[in-house]
Chain A
Amino acid sequence: MIKSKSLTILFGIAFLCSALYMTPCGAAEGQLKVVATQTMYADIVKEIGKDKVDVKYVAQPKFNVHFIQPKPSDVRNVSKADLYVNAGLDLEAWSDPLLEAAGKSDLFRGRERNVDMSRGVRLLDVPDHQLSRAEGDIHLYGNPHYTMNPENVVVMAGNILEKLKTIDPANAAYYEENEKAFVARLEDKIAEWRKLCNPCKGQEVISYHKDIAYFADFVGLKAEQYIEVKPGIPPTPKHLEFLEEYVKAHNIKAIVMPTYYPKDAADKLAARVGAKVVTICQNVGELPGTDNVFSFFDYNFKQISDALK
């Protein structure tokens, strides 16, 4: 007799352990369930869908979105989702395995319930040559950090509106109205941010990673040298020596970096050359007071304009 009794008991214990935490959860009746890979996408969906959507996100904002390990709870959320909003391109290498683990094929890349936020965005750093990993952790289709330019948020809002209207035509007018109001607010803020950053135009900065491209494009900054030796490759003493000379020669005032990279190399360089280390957010909610698209950009542009005054 196989020990089926003990097997049953163990299975039961496993379920009981889980049941200890049992509380009702989930979307309200009639709401579309949306899973966004990043907090910024989740915030834009909320702005347009408001009470018609229940939004969850995968990547915790305080971590680098490239290196997220989706959890079983993410798999569960995606398997129940009506819409999956993601960066497209090749930033979120974990996105396809997550979708496959959830097993809902209409959310897969290119399918009807998958929103690729990069659609229509003017991509920077699109490779013009055969790529090799010898160049570091580079991206095949262009720089994927397009969320750093608020003008791209207008394009992203359009992508979300289009999909929401398609899968929920009954509320199309509602979504359109919300999107219009959101974009109008955003355009006013874009003018304000441009004015704030106007004195920074033409100045050069050092960035930790190549994730500054779209931010620099909006502000008018020049960013040609990075703390990383190559994308994804941490700095070496030799590289920092080179940067020290470079910063002095080009009279650079600021070193820009996200919160989640180690700050010691930037601090060391800044101390040697008398530059400031400017921390900017890459994700909505990464720091206190950056919990929506507007406060996220407010924070970032204030940081850079204060540093380059």
Chain B
Amino acid sequence: MNKNKEKLLNSRYRAEKRFQFYGKSAIFLALLFLTIFIFKIFSTGYTAFQKTWLIVPVTFDAETMYLDENPSKEDLEDADYFDLALQTMFNLDKSASEKQQNDLKRMVSYFFEREIKRELLNDPSLIGKTKDVYLTASDDLDQVFKGNYPRDLPEDQRRVTDYQLKIFDQLVEQGRVESKFNLSFFTYPDSREAELAGIASSFMGSIFSILVCLVIAFPVAVLAAIYLEEFAPKNRFTDFIEVNINNLAAVPSIVFGLLGLGILLAVFHLPRSTPLVGGITLSLMTLPTIIIACRASLKAVPPSIREAALAMGASKMQTTMHHTVPLSMPGTLSGTIIGLAQALGETAPLILIGMVAFVNTIPGSPLDPAASLPVQIYIWAESAERGFVEKVSACIMVLLGFLIIMNLFAQIIRHKFEKKWS
């Protein structure tokens, strides 16, 4: 009898241990996913911050540029650099056949002409002289140099030819290949060529959308929250507004995209693909988030504050505007920032309103067509070229960096400025 009891007790203890183990492993799994995730993004993305340059000697021959003697600044601006640039590449292997010459040309980005031109414009005295110029390597060679591209594939399955590899290896041996910080990733707009693609256009698009979103959502949400928390009578209509807000907070984001498409674009004829429309759509989405945060922080202001103000003869409106609202601001602001961070990561509604279009200019105002960072991630992730994989990861790193900064900022505001009532 006693033995049976002990057995039962032991099995109950084992069940207890097992249950605890399940709990621990659930947390472990969740954190493992997070780690794998972040590791994967960083390990594929960090190489995008480096860019491979080929250092090629350029002979600035006036004849190849069709320039007269003593050309003026304008002449240099208008000169034809293409032949010079081609000649420079062909000079890497003077015995190249026509097909091989074509390969040589493809070893650098199609910006090579402009890079040579910039060099000469910086120093016009170079005419007739030879100088080493940094040229952006093509994305395939860039990937080869970073070791992301298997070299041992058969030639017909590779985008780099054996000939290009041979020349490239010669250049590496001569120390004419260099890897430097990829500034153009931050300053160039999107491009079809991976080596020239940057996030400047989508970054500005994101900034403009978020600004539009902030300008619209913040005042409306704060005013609405003040009304609902401080002034609204307890009746059916107020309940109806509250139900609406709670439900809007849980409506899938893509439905807001349909709203933007069906109302903003189709009825109001706002310009397509612009941060203006994107921002308005996002603001409708963040509205409930900010309202809920603002109401919570208004609710946290103790009634004694209000009673004191009312006792001093302030009107209800004065009490609210002079005392309750300023005291609730830290909570409201941190809620707003969190809402904006959500909006910053939103993709689907922006795709529907056309912010997915290929934009190779940097937008200067919310009325110019633009993409946004998450949409840029989507666009690049959908393209087949290998060079874009690391770009996507790098873009994700930038986006996550922004989200982390925004959330930290929200935390700081909350902890530093929020009054603790006890």
A binds B: no
**Which positions in B face A, CB cutoff 8 Å?**
none
Residues on A close to B: CB < 8 A? none
